[in-house]
Amino acid sequence: MKNKYWLIIAIAVLIVIPSWGQETAQIIRAKMFVLEDEQGRDRAKLWMTPNGPGLFLLNEQGKTRISLEIFEGATMLHMYGEQTKAAIRIGVFDNKPRLDLRDENGKTLIELAVSKTGPGLILYDENGNFRVELQLVSDTAYLMMADENGTNRFMIAVSEATSGLALYNQKGRIIWKEQ
């Protein structure tokens, strides 16, 4: 019985003494960190993608539901639907913010962005064609509408100094305008 206690004390000493005086690691380096749930399924990943660092949060089936990625010229946050490609994408591209809303097939239907010329809102149809655009350029507000082929058919522009209205034919040529 005495030998058993000495054995336990000896093992404890061998375990404790090497760690005495050691500091906690300040930096941990790895190529990827994976967070698993109690069933061993991947639920989060932090890793270097081919484009740059990324954080991915996964559902029980292993599908990405939220991702945060940084790569050259862009930072993006994606939020995905449970079983579809529907998504919200918030990002900064070339120092310009943008918000995209995508349908269940992953096609952008609404885009809100700030470009070099100013803020704008664009609505797309299910085929990806631009249909409506509202844009502010300098001191002028524009509203443009296009047909199902993406051809401009209507435009109105308003500023303090002037306003104008234009109608276009199927080829995108002006058929009537007023200023």
Number of domains in the chain: 2
Structural domain boundaries enclosing 81:
30-93
CB-CB contact of 51 with 64 (8 Å): no
Q: Average pLDDT by consecutive 10-residue portion of the chain (179 residues)?
A: 55 56 75 93 93 94 94 93 88 94 93 94 94 94 95 95 95 94
Q: Residue 24: inside a domain, yes or no?
A: no
Q: Is residue 104 part of a domain?
A: no
Amino acid letter, 142: Y
Residue 173 in any domain: the answer is yes
Give residue 29's pLDDT: 86
| pLDDT tens-digit map of 152-179 | 999 999 999 999 999 999 999 999 999 8
In a domain, 76, yes or no: yes
Nearest of 148, 150, 149, 146 to residue 166 by alpha carbon: 146
Does residue 91 sit in helix, strand or coil?
Answer: strand
> What's the pLDDT score for residue 129?
92
Question: For residue 19, is it within any domain?
Answer: no
Clarify whether residues 82 and 134 are in a common domain: no
The pLDDT, as a whole number, for residue 84 is 76
* Residues 174 and 140 grouped into a single domain: yes
